[in-house]
């Protein structure tokens, strides 16, 4: 009976910690979640992690995810679990971008997380493919045929990166002109990353 009560107490503490934002976290996903989502790790950031008290001032969290040289990183998706809300402003805003030391929105362009605006509940990370094409002129007798040919499909570097030196993944949150980030009383967002070592 003592073991059961101890297990319940530990479980309750974990649930309490998850629901009260005891610090941003970065952890590997269990194998089932990896297979389902296509990511290897998740970064979770809650409203309590946003501590800047200045109105209309962005805050960048650089201590959540560290990247080492020879690692490949891709943001698979961002999932808003609980919309952010400062509680006092019907036009409140919390926008987020995700990048690194060389490109502030390498992984995610500006995305609204506040319930007072059009919050985005799920957004995939940036992934752009650029196509190159050419025109071939084919002359058969008196007829000329112009054929557009797709010659290559290349991946743009935006959205994923192979690191040659250590860096951090940077999460930048920006409030509106009348609020500070520390005024939020609700909010949790998760960022699912695929990291190849």
Per-domain boundaries in the chain = 25-128+154-196
Confidence (pLDDT) at 13 = 45
Rounded distance between C-alpha atoms, residue 86 and residue 90, angstroms: 9
Instruction: Tell me the per-residue pLDDT of 147-177, one tens digit each, with 9 for 90 and over.
Output: 555 544 444 556 899 999 999 999 999 999 8
The count of C-alpha atoms lying within 13 angstroms of the C-alpha of 77, restricted to the half-sphere facing its C-beta, is 12
State the Rg of the chain over Cα. 22
Give per-residue burial for 133-146: e unless 16+ CB within 10 Å, then b: eeeeeeeeeeeeee
Cross-strand bridge partners of residue 63: none
Domain 25-128+154-196 has CATH 1.25.40: no
Q: What is the mean pLDDT of residues 31-39?
A: 95
CB contact at 8 A, 46 and 190: no
Of 21-35, 52-66, 118-132, 162-176, the least confident:
118-132
Instruction: Name which residue leads in pLDDT, 173 or 7.
Output: 173
Of 9-13, 65-69, 122-126, 188-192, the least confident:
9-13
Of 95-99, 139-143, 189-193, the least confident:
139-143
Q: Copy the structure tokens of residue 136.
A: 């071939």
Residues, the chain? 197
CB contact at 8 A, 73 and 157: no
pTM of the predicted model, to two decimals? Answer: 0.76
Instruction: Tell me the per-residue pLDDT of 92-126, one tens digit each, with 9 for 90 and over.
Output: 899 999 999 999 999 999 999 999 888 999 999 98
């Amino acid at each position: 009976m003592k073991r059961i009560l101890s297990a319940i107490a530990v479980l309750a503490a974990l649930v309490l910690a998850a629901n009260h934002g005891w610090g941003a976290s970065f952890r590997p996903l269990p194998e089932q979640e990896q297979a389902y989502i296509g990511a290897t790790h998740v970064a979770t950031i809650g409203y309590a992690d946003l501590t800047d008290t200045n109105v209309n001032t962005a805050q960048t969290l650089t201590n959540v995810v560290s990247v080492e040289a020879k690692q490949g990183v891709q943001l698979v998706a961002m999932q808003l679990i609980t919309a952010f809300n400062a509680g006092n402003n019907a036009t409140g805003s919390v926008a987020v971008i995700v990048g690194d030391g060389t490109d502030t929105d390498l992984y995610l362009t500006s995305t609204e997380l506040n319930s007072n605006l059009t919050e985005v509940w799920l957004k995939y990370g940036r992934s752009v493919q650029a196509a190159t094409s050419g025109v071939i002129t084919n002359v058969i007798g008196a007829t000329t045929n112009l054929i557009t040919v797709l010659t290559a499909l290349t991946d743009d570097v935006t959205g994923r990166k192979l690191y040659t030196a250590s860096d951090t993944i940077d999460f930048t949150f920006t409030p509106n002109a009348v609020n500070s980030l520390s005024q939020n009383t609700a909010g949790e967002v998760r960022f699912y990353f695929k990291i190849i070592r």
